[in-house]
């Protein structure tokens, strides 16, 4: 149905055997396969049946490239705040690439040191869709949203402690942003953000080609 797209497995809560079974089944279709929330031991098992499998450590994702990925002309930019947000940011990057998008990174530009972000306005200007990933108070999404007039997708992360309530603080920040035009996904859901960014980017790409 979703032509060219990878098949996707969410590994959390599935046994090694279950995942292996699903992948074996998928391998028959000759599609690309993307597995998220996969511990290293999942990768080791999968590699035995799919030697081309690549493991992305920080986001804990496995990608099996059966069909060569094409890259869009327009770009998705993934912006993140602190070091601890990187696994979620990378989940977005790996997903967006697996879905055929060109992706750029702009990391470590949290609002406590706003000059780093302001020194990279060209990166913001150069992308068609922006994903912001931030934990703690998640203010990054508002600042980015105020700087650009493009689709901004915000991913709250569970990074922080105490009254961050496992990511609720960043989630509420993003839902209540005074910068208009921000679409929010679930806490730590780098995958979903990239998926949404990709549907946007592919619509742009299609319009570019079809006129």
Contact set with Mg ion (CB under 5 A)? 145, 181
| Measured distance CA(33)–CA(95) in Å, rounded | 11
Residue 114 partner contact from Mg ion, its own copies, ligand AMP, none using kind-dependent CB cut-offs of 5 to 8 Å: its own copies
Comparing CB distances to ligand AMP, the nearer of 67 and 83 is 83
Contact set with ligand AMP (CB under 6 A)? 8-10, 36-37, 82-83, 180, 189, 191-192
| Measured distance CA(158)–CA(65) in Å, rounded | 30
Comparing CB distances to Mg ion, the nearer of 113 and 181 is 181
Residue 107 partner contact from its own copies, Mg ion, ligand AMP, none using kind-dependent CB cut-offs of 5 to 8 Å: none
| Positions of E strands within 6-128 | 7-10, 33-36, 54-56, 61-64, 75-80, 102-106
| Measured distance CA(96)–CA(36) in Å, rounded | 13
Determine which residue in the list 46, 109, 169, 190 makes contact with its own copies, applying CB under 8 A: 169
Alpha-carbon distances, residue 202 vs 36, 38, 83, 154 (angstroms): 22, 27, 30, 19
Binding to its own copies by residue 122, rule CB under 8 A?
no
Comparing CB distances to Mg ion, the nearer of 19 and 129 is 129
């Amino acid at each position: 149905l979703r032509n060219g797209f990878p098949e996707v497995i969410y590994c959390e809560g599935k046994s090694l055997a279950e995942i292996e079974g699903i992948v074996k089944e998928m391998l028959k279709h000759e599609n690309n396969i993307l597995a998220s929330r996969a511990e290293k031991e999942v990768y080791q098992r999968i590699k035995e049946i799919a030697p081309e499998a690549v493991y992305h450590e920080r986001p804990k994702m496995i990608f099996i490239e059966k069909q060569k990925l094409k890259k869009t002309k327009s770009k998705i930019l993934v912006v993140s705040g602190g070091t601890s947000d990187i696994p979620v940011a990378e989940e977005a990057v790996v997903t967006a690439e697996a879905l055929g998008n060109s992706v750029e990174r702009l990391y470590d530009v949290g609002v406590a040191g706003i000059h780093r972000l302001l020194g990279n306005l060209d990166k913001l200007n150069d992308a068609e869709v922006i994903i912001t990933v931030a934990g703690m108070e998640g203010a990054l999404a508002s600042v980015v949203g105020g700087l650009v007039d493009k689709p901004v997708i915000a991913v709250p992360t569970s990074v922080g402690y105490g009254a961050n309530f496992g990511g609720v603080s960043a989630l509420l920040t993003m839902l209540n942003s005074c910068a208009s035009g921000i679409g929010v996904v679930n806490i730590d859901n780098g995958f979903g953000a990239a998926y949404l960014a990709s549907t946007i980017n592919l619509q742009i790409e299609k319009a570019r080609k079809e006129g």
